[in-house]
């Protein structure tokens, strides 16, 4: 299972189903195989159905917890803002944009804490999964 933006960018592997014991049309495994139909998002969990695999080999319902971006903290400090996030939050990139609905761009090499000079224009920040 993967995620990708509607413009085809930011391909991310979310889950690889385990190998079936007797592929390709049947077999058992712990999490299913050959997912079908739509997925349902509830909170931070995706639910779906697989037509093969599972404990009986006849398919299963599966759930997949999505990674949550770490929470950003933004504080004013003199003529700067300091953006921080948990330093153990690997796999996320800091981005900024002039509007919350604007085109966000990566801030290459940004690490926590990140210091940004306050300018006349407003700036929005977010973390996204790499």
Residue in this structure with the two tokens 């981005």, named with its chain if needed: 95
| pLDDT for the residue 92 | 85
User: Domain spans of the chain?
Assistant: 2-65, 73-129
pLDDT tens per residue, range 71-126: 999 999 999 999 999 877 777 889 999 999 889 999 998 999 999 998 878 899 99
| pLDDT for the residue 25 | 67
**Strand bridging mode 105-106 / 114-117:** unpaired
* Distance from C-alpha of 86 to C-alpha of 89, rounded to nearest angstrom: 6
> Band of the pLDDT at 50, cuts 50, 70, 90?
confident
| pLDDT for the residue 104 | 94
**Pair of tokens at residue 12:** 């991310």
Return the percentage of the chain with pLDDT > 90, whole number: 28
For every residue of the chain, which 3-state class applies, written as one string? CEECCCCCCCCEECCCCCCCCCCCCCCCCCCCEEEEEEEEEECCEEEEEEEEECCCCECEEEEEECCCCCCCEEEEECCEEEEECCCCCCCEEEEEECCCCCCCEECCCCCCCEEEECCCCCCEEEEEEC
Q: Is the pLDDT of residue 64 over 80?
A: yes
pLDDT tens per residue, range 10-49: 788 888 888 888 766 678 878 887 888 788 999 889 998 8
Question: What dihedral do alpha carbons 42, 99, 95, 121 form, nearest 10°?
Answer: -150
């Amino acid at each position: 299972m993967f995620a990708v933006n509607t413009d085809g960018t930011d391909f991310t592997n979310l889950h690889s189903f385990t190998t079936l014991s007797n592929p390709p049309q049947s077999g058992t495994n712990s999490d299913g195989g050959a997912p079908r139909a739509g997925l349902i998002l509830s909170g931070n969990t995706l639910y779906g159905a697989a037509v093969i695999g599972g404990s009986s080999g006849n398919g299963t319902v599966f759930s997949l917890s999505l990674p949550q971006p770490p929470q950003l903290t933004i504080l004013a400090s003199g003529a700067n803002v300091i953006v921080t996030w948990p330093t153990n939050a690997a796999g996320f990139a800091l981005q900024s944009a002039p509007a919350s609905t604007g085109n966000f761009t990566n801030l290459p090499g940004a690490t926590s804490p990140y210091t940004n000079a306050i300018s006349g224009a407003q700036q929005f920040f977010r973390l996204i999964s790499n």
